[in-house]
Chain A
Amino acid sequence: MIRIDLPRFDRFEGWRDAARQLVGAGVTPDRITWADPDTPADLFGSDPMAQPNDAPVTATKDFLQLARTVSSHSDPERWALIYTALWRAQTDRAFLGNPADPLMDRLNRLAKSVRRDIHKMHAFVRFHELPSTGNRRSFGAWFEPEHLILQAGTPFFAKRFADMDWLIATPEGIARFTGDRIAFDPPAPRPDLPADASHGLWQTYFANIFNPARIKTNAMRSEMPMKYWKNLPETHLIPHMLADAPRRVQAMRDAGASDAPQFAAKVTARIRQQPQDTPAETITQAQEQAARCTRCELCHDATQTVWGQGDPDAGLMFVGEAPGDQEDLAGRPFVGPAGQLLRQTMTQAALDPDKAWMTNAVKHFRFTPRGKRRLHQTPDKSHVEHCSWWLGLERRFVAPKLTVALGATAAFALTGDRSPLTPRRGKVQAATDGGPVLVTWHPSLILRLPDDRAATARAELLSDLRHAGQLLAA
């Protein structure tokens, strides 16, 4: 047997150097004894180390990372296992990537246990403040991990607590940080850490953030295993918190509902908004009422009511179908891609988008959720009918000389005519309330059509908007 003595710290580098030499020299795994610092000497002595040679030894990056993690495990067999994997990988690279292989499965489990222990170290180290002489504050902790993770686990603390001196003592050794790099020392007896007032506050927090009406101790024990409890300042409170919980819940139940303090009614009377149900006298009042609309079910899923926007004295009104995703989020109409196309086309037709009232036939977005997206759905006849109340109010206050209906839904809402749009496009119809309505495409149609047909539709929209300008000027 060849005995390889690994150092107390930087063990993985020690293993890697030796393993490279041994694999290169063709030494099979069963001929090596890997010895940690506390391993007793072999009874029969050991064979000499293999001669250094230049034979290439290869491994994947992922395997080296895995081996490094496994090297922190407390299992004495770990060195032999990673050596065996390295040995096998020289002739069969594929098994390194196969999670069903028993050796890889074992290594993955060891690594997982190490990673979990490191994670728990990051969670459960509790610093006590130590007296400090310089201008940096000083802290110390005692921690008992399951594995040999002092070196793998402490760089986290150097990054997090760069502005303070700290030491973490463990049975494996001591890590000290004074602002530069972490120094590692051999283990020493557990230090006496001074009492720390913040630990008292922490216990107050722990006891009060607990809800006695929910008891789920299994979740607690699986995530905060008992083996870590003895060094945590808060865990000794748990038995009493649990024992007292049923009494506290019973007390809540017995107390039942209480009488409100006297000032409560006054505060409520002052701030609770009473919905104003009198008929709206201005367009702003109508907008406030529409913001609370629950006439149809669309208000539950949509974000908010999207009211019209623009110049209420304009004389020109645009009515689209319904807000889309972007309009729904912003609470303003025509801010999405179709709205941008409409504004561009208006500008081309010498119509100022700010000098028109822009609104929709239906004021809430209708959609089906699909993963992270909301797919637009055309509103039903019933939605249009429910919403005609608001469109009617808008029309009463804006009193447009001309209304442009964008698409079939708007044309239906304004004229009550549900016949196909194509023969009506470009023509003026009478609105149900009497005014003239110029029917044209909805800009979102242009965005959905294939390029050649989109260009035609866009030209038609532009000519209709020019026509609208002429009608308005007449």
Chain B
Amino acid sequence: MAQRTLDQKLAILSDAAKYDASCASSGTTRRDSQSGGIGSAGGTGICHAYTPDGRCISLLKILMTNFCIYDCAYCINRVSSNVERARFSPEEVVKLTLEFYRRNMIEGLFLSSGIIRSPDQTMGDMVQIAKMLRVDHGFKGYIHLKTIPDAAPELVAEAGLYADRLSVNIELPQDASLRQLAPEKRPETIRATMADVRLGREAAKDRSHTGKRPPRFAPAGQSTQMIVGADAATDRDILKTSSNLYSGYHLKRVYYSAFSPIPDASAALPLIKPPLIREHRLYQADWLMRFYGFDAEEIGAAHPSGNLDLAIDPKLAWALANRAQFPVDVRNASREMLLRVPGFGTKTVGRILAARRSGAVRYADLLRMGAIMSKARSFVTLPDWHPGALTDSDGLRARFAPAPEQLSLF
């Protein structure tokens, strides 16, 4: 095999990395290069570019290698795929990261890898790259390392010292699907790795009896990714799994990735059009769980099928299914209840609470403060607005859902 150029390797190993959705670079410790080294981190994340698939580019997202000994049916890099293979040397990864970084193209590196030889060998090589960046080059930017499940806990512990974020992908919302589609992976070891990361983070927060702080461990926390649409799990199942993951391992994010056709597909999984709207609704539902005080169960129960309504957003769907709780009187409703009004976001609710101190909030004030009144008007009462019979009218859902379209025959 002829030696590949850096450009060719980059093409292969970024193509292989694009099915990972995460690109977050926010929420880590504040640091910069004024005390030496290169780079800074710790503010809000920065998305340096966007591709036409709607995903942002914040990090250099690449695989160390796409050689892999596992045979996961949904993955382009599985051992039984005929995809072109390549492998970066550690120096090449370090050089690409730093040169892109210096040109202000990225916030840092998201390094993942196929499994070569063994989980320990792979994880060890990835940790080595992170260490070179941090120690040899004083790199202060963001590093996200994919954690290889089944890697030794000591390697995960070392990874946490150099990485801002660790992630291990749960891959599929139900254990049975994972056992079937990724026979080399085991749901219990994936969860155990997440548990190790949570325990590592908690241990790094405890000061010792001398008051000394232990070294920081993955300060931007951990995340995971679930493929949506590759198995028969309902949205209710998916949200329940997410809710378990958030509560069990204190994940910062669960990413939902619409199952997308891959070149050189496996016979075990038919190629489908990626369910992008479903993915979008799941993200909205996820937000409702994390910032709006909703339970997975109540969002999932809004539709008898167990799936989210694709035509309207999940908060609106919940409100339509629970109309007895509306209309809400904006003058005296609690924060919790205001957060449940469709068309009110967390910022709008904060502004309403602030404005209530200066007097009554009227319809025009809400418009100015960012409320989407086309949605909210059916669910609130104001000094100058009452929805009347609107809240309970049969045709309310039809006002929000897009008009039905004749299905295309092709």
CB of A202 within 8 A of CB of B103, answer yes
* Complex Cα gap A100–B357 (Å): 11
Proximity string of chain A (167-189) to chain B, C-beta cutoff 8 Å, 1 when within and 0 when not: 00000000000000000000000
Q: Measured between C-beta atoms, what is the minimum distance from A195 to chain B in Å? A: 13
CB of A196 within 8 A of CB of B103, answer yes
CB of A264 within 8 A of CB of B71, answer yes
* Complex Cα gap A304–B199 (Å): 15
Greatest chain B CB density within 10 A among A100, A163, A253, A265 is at A100
- A301 touches which of B244, B246, B250, B358 (Cβ 8 Å): B244
CB of A220 within 8 A of CB of B51, answer yes
A302 contact set on B, CB distance < 8 A: 191
CB of B10 within 8 A of CB of A123, answer no
A455 at the interface (CB under 8 A from B): no
Closest to B276 in A: A214
CB of A163 within 8 A of CB of B38, answer yes
A41 contact set on B, CB distance < 8 A: none
A416 at the interface (CB under 8 A from B): no
* Complex Cα gap A159–B187 (Å): 42
* Complex Cα gap A256–B269 (Å): 10
- A299 touches which of B33, B188, B265 (Cβ 8 Å): B188
Greatest chain A CB density within 10 A among B11, B61, B104 is at B104
Q: Which of B353-382 contact A (CB under 8 A)?
A: 354-355, 357-358, 361, 365, 368-369
CB of B44 within 8 A of CB of A202, answer no
B60 contact set on A, CB distance < 8 A: 205
- B46 touches which of A119, A263, A300, A371 (Cβ 8 Å): A119
CB of B7 within 8 A of CB of A200, answer yes
B336 at the interface (CB under 8 A from A): no
* Complex Cα gap A468–B145 (Å): 50
* Complex Cα gap A105–B263 (Å): 51
B258 at the interface (CB under 8 A from A): yes
Closest to B194 in A: A303
CB of A238 within 8 A of CB of B52, answer yes
Proximity string of chain A (102-125) to chain B, C-beta cutoff 8 Å, 1 when within and 0 when not: 100100000000000001001111
Q: Measured between C-beta atoms, what is the minimum distance from A26 to chain B in Å? A: 26
CB of B50 within 8 A of CB of A305, answer no
Which of B15-23, B204-212, B338-346 contacts the other chain? B15-23
- B10 touches which of A94, A205, A267, A304 (Cβ 8 Å): A205
Number of interface residues of B (CB under 8 A): 90
Proximity string of chain B (23-58) to chain A, C-beta cutoff 8 Å, 1 when within and 0 when not: 000000000111011111000101111111111110
A292 contact set on B, CB distance < 8 A: 186, 188
* Complex Cα gap A164–B103 (Å): 11
Q: Which of B206-254 contact A (CB under 8 A)?
A: 243-244, 246-248, 250
Greatest chain B CB density within 10 A among A129, A202, A220, A294 is at A202
CB of B247 within 8 A of CB of A201, answer no
* Count class of interface residues, chain A: 35 or more
- B195 touches which of A124, A164, A241, A329 (Cβ 8 Å): A329
CB of A159 within 8 A of CB of B261, answer no
CB of A223 within 8 A of CB of B56, answer yes
CB of B49 within 8 A of CB of A217, answer no
Known A301-B244, A374-B247: A163·B369 in contact at CB below 8 Å: no
CB of B54 within 8 A of CB of A217, answer yes
Known A214-B54, A249-B261: A198·B365 in contact at CB below 8 Å: no
CB of A303 within 8 A of CB of B103, answer no
A252 at the interface (CB under 8 A from B): yes
Closest to A331 in B: B192
A218 contact set on B, CB distance < 8 A: 54
* Complex Cα gap A156–B39 (Å): 10
A454 at the interface (CB under 8 A from B): no
Known A126-B104, A128-B103: A214·B260 in contact at CB below 8 Å: yes
B335 at the interface (CB under 8 A from A): no
Greatest chain A CB density within 10 A among B12, B50, B186 is at B50
CB of A201 within 8 A of CB of B246, answer no
B298 at the interface (CB under 8 A from A): no
* Complex Cα gap A317–B261 (Å): 54
Q: Measured between C-beta atoms, what is the minimum distance from B377 to chain A in Å? A: 17
Q: Measured between C-beta atoms, what is the minimum distance from A185 to chain B in Å? A: 21
Q: Which of A137-187 contact B (CB under 8 A)?
A: 137, 139, 141, 156-164
Q: Measured between C-beta atoms, what is the minimum distance from B34 to chain A in Å? A: 5
CB of A160 within 8 A of CB of B6, answer no
A156 contact set on B, CB distance < 8 A: 40
CB of A100 within 8 A of CB of B369, answer yes
Proximity string of chain B (184-205) to chain A, C-beta cutoff 8 Å, 1 when within and 0 when not: 1011110110110011000000
Proximity string of chain B (272-300) to chain A, C-beta cutoff 8 Å, 1 when within and 0 when not: 01101000000000000000000010000
B267 at the interface (CB under 8 A from A): yes
Proximity string of chain A (208-219) to chain B, C-beta cutoff 8 Å, 1 when within and 0 when not: 111111111111
* Complex Cα gap A210–B17 (Å): 10
Known A211-B53, A214-B54, A234-B49: A328·B103 in contact at CB below 8 Å: no
B99 at the interface (CB under 8 A from A): yes
CB of B266 within 8 A of CB of A208, answer no
* Complex Cα gap A158–B17 (Å): 32
A224 at the interface (CB under 8 A from B): yes
CB of A202 within 8 A of CB of B105, answer yes
CB of A220 within 8 A of CB of B54, answer yes
B79 at the interface (CB under 8 A from A): yes
- A125 touches which of B104, B258, B264, B365 (Cβ 8 Å): B104
* Complex Cα gap A127–B104 (Å): 6
B271 at the interface (CB under 8 A from A): yes
CB of A258 within 8 A of CB of B264, answer yes
Q: Measured between C-beta atoms, what is the minimum distance from A440 to chain B in Å? A: 30
- A163 touches which of B33, B44, B51 (Cβ 8 Å): B33
Q: Measured between C-beta atoms, what is the minimum distance from B254 to chain A in Å? A: 13
Known A100-B361, A201-B96: A139·B102 in contact at CB below 8 Å: yes
B32 contact set on A, CB distance < 8 A: 159-160, 162
CB of A122 within 8 A of CB of B46, answer yes
Known A95-B358, A128-B103, A198-B103: A162·B246 in contact at CB below 8 Å: no
CB of A141 within 8 A of CB of B7, answer no
CB of B52 within 8 A of CB of A217, answer yes
Closest to B258 in A: A214
Greatest chain A CB density within 10 A among B47, B174, B258, B261 is at B261
B14 at the interface (CB under 8 A from A): yes
A220 contact set on B, CB distance < 8 A: 50-54
A-B contact pairs, 25 of them (CB 8 A): A98-B358, A99-B369, A127-B104, A158-B34, A159-B32, A160-B33, A201-B99, A202-B103, A208-B14, A208-B15, A209-B51, A209-B57, A213-B274, A215-B53, A215-B54, A216-B276, A220-B50, A224-B49, A249-B261, A255-B264, A255-B265, A263-B79, A264-B80, A369-B296, A374-B247
Interface residues of B (CB under 8 A from A): 6-7, 10-12, 14-15, 17-19, 32-34, 36-40, 44, 46-57, 60-61, 69-71, 79-82, 96, 99-100, 102-105, 174-175, 183-184, 186-189, 191-192, 194-195, 198-199, 243-244, 246-248, 250, 258, 260-267, 271, 273-274, 276, 296, 351, 354-355, 357-358, 361, 365, 368-369
User: Nearest 9 A-B pairs (CB), nearest first?
Assistant: A216-B54, A219-B54, A260-B80, A369-B247, A159-B32, A257-B267, A100-B365, A329-B195, A214-B53
Known: A100-B355, A272-B71, A328-B195. 13 other contacts (CB 8 A): A157-B104, A160-B32, A163-B37, A204-B14, A205-B60, A211-B18, A211-B53, A223-B50, A223-B56, A224-B47, A300-B187, A369-B248, A369-B296
